[in-house]
Chains A and B, each alone.
Chain A
């Protein structure tokens, strides 16, 4: 056989490439309960669909390191998730800590380019130490490795992008987490600009990795991560589930799904979620879960800006984006974090043709010194601007309160295709308690307050809105689900087959 030696070399090289950083390192991870890169791919994608791109890649900077830089530390390729094509990049931490260097940068760039140009979601699974040293050291290293691909961090949202942070996720894994349409973090992962070691060297600050970039920080304070999970399986399950609501690219409508049995079964009782007193609060998620198809609510950033709820769901089998106020937190008052969370979500839905449903119960935007320090006016105007740029169908339902500027931001007037209101809706420029004091000069408990208050409260009821056609319908609460399903049908973007204009496709989220 003339080519026997060549084929033997091929098999030997292939086996070495597939072995990554070596059996010993893989075994150590397995013993610690941490999956290896190829195990992650096996769980993420449909069986037998992964076609690797760049298996024989190795260091592009130091040829003498080819033997210890298998795949150059990042696996790339094409696969299917639930039967749909995707491009994936999965870091192999056993090879130089999956640090970024010349060859693996070309691999990521090619996956991004292919996904973008051919209309497939891009999934990047991170665990990385950052830029590889000494590859990127010195002016020559910088000049060769950084900044030569202007599209590297350009986001025009032609295709959905998902990012996961597992373990240490410095450098590219952190950047991609911030840029993704959906980011998920496993507890124990660290997402940060630089490692605790560098921080302590540079600043003399001894810092706990969890404080520097742990899940609690990103779930509750920075809002940079959409979901946090306990187990590794859940990282991949959440990515698969996120993608199930979205189209493969921006020029198609999201896929439909069967309506689960039991959907709508709780609508008869939905009105009882509201407390009798308007000074008491309730959990809007109970209303959302009753209205949408059974078990389809997929909430994003649940611990961040909690007075708003944002999540993907389905109504009558169609993907929708839910934006709701949640009176359980801050009484539903929208603070800077809640505004940012909603705007990020509007960008996602509008970019990928997902119709929006707004469920409204807010006393308005958060006021006070803390709110002003957080730049509330800027966040509110970003929210306002975003609402004017939405081009997907949007429907709003005023459940209870809708006051002030928040009335417009939450879809009031022509900021929804259709406004429906429950009989409990109350709409005005400000809450009747304060309006009574300002308009009539009497405070709560003072003589004449109750009478004036009743007058002003009456003026805020739903009928004024309906009479001037600012609400197109007043509906019984139990009819909400059926009404929304019918209106989603009415307002379908027929002439473009469900595709919107994507006016926010380059909107910078995560800030």
Chain B
């Protein structure tokens, strides 16, 4: 089991949480949606796994590169 850090690619504001701890996710799944540059930017996992933690909540500001979720993969 590897600990995989999921980072926001972009600075913005958390708009939606699309996953919760315990969810099984596949490569390409959207975990969180961030609002940035007037667009809805998904935070996507490249790796399959199980969501261990979601580290942000709706309306939280996030910075580029910030870890927003942890997967067990």
Contacts and interface: CB of A to CB of B under 8 A. Distances in A.
| Chain B binds chain A | yes
Interface of A: 220, 279-281, 303, 306-307, 327-331, 333, 363, 366, 368, 370, 431, 433, 444
A444 to B, nearest CB: 8
A368 B64 contact: yes
B9 A281 contact: no
B23 interface: no
Interface string B23-57: 00000000000001111111010100000000000
A279 B64 CA distance: 19
Interface of B: 9-11, 36-42, 44, 46, 63-65
A431 B44 CA distance: 24
B40 A281 contact: yes
A280 B15 CA distance: 13
Contacts of B40: 279-281
A370 B64 contact: yes
Contacts of B37: 331, 333, 363, 431
A280 B39 contact: yes
13 contacts: A220-B46, A281-B40, A281-B41, A303-B46, A307-B9, A329-B41, A329-B44, A330-B10, A330-B41, A331-B10, A331-B37, A363-B39, A370-B11
A333 B63 CA distance: 16
Given A279-B39, A333-B37, 6 more contacts: A279-B40, A280-B40, A281-B40, A281-B42, A327-B39, A330-B9
Nearest to B41: A331
Contacts of A327: 39
A327 B65 CA distance: 18
A86 B42 CA distance: 44
Contacts of B46: 220, 303
Contacts of A281: 39-42
A431 B42 CA distance: 20
Contact of A279 (B9, B10, B38, B63): B38
B44 A331 contact: no
Give the secondary structure class of A's interface. Answer: loop
Contacts of B10: 330-331, 333, 366
A166 B48 CA distance: 24
Nearest to A277: B40
A306 B9 CA distance: 9
B1 to A, nearest CB: 14
A220 B44 CA distance: 14
Nearest to B46: A303
B28 to A, nearest CB: 8
Contacts of A307: 9
Most buried by B among A328, A331, A363: A331
Most buried by B among A220, A327, A368, A444: A368
B11 A329 contact: no
Contact of B9 (A329, A363, A431, A433): A329
Contacts of A330: 9-10, 41
B66 to A, nearest CB: 10
The 7 closest A-B pairs by CB, nearest first: A331-B39, A370-B64, A433-B38, A279-B39, A330-B9, A330-B10, A331-B41
B49 to A, nearest CB: 14
Contacts of A363: 37, 39
Most buried by B among A281, A306, A307: A281
B73 to A, nearest CB: 11
B11 A368 contact: yes
B13 to A, nearest CB: 14
A333 B40 CA distance: 13
A366 B10 CA distance: 9
A443 to B, nearest CB: 11
Contacts of A303: 46
A183 B7 CA distance: 26
A279 B37 CA distance: 9
Most buried by A among B9, B37, B40, B46: B37
A333 B41 CA distance: 11
Contacts of A306: 9
Contact of B44 (A328, A370, A433): A328
A303 B44 CA distance: 12
A333 B64 CA distance: 13
Contacts of A329: 9, 41, 44
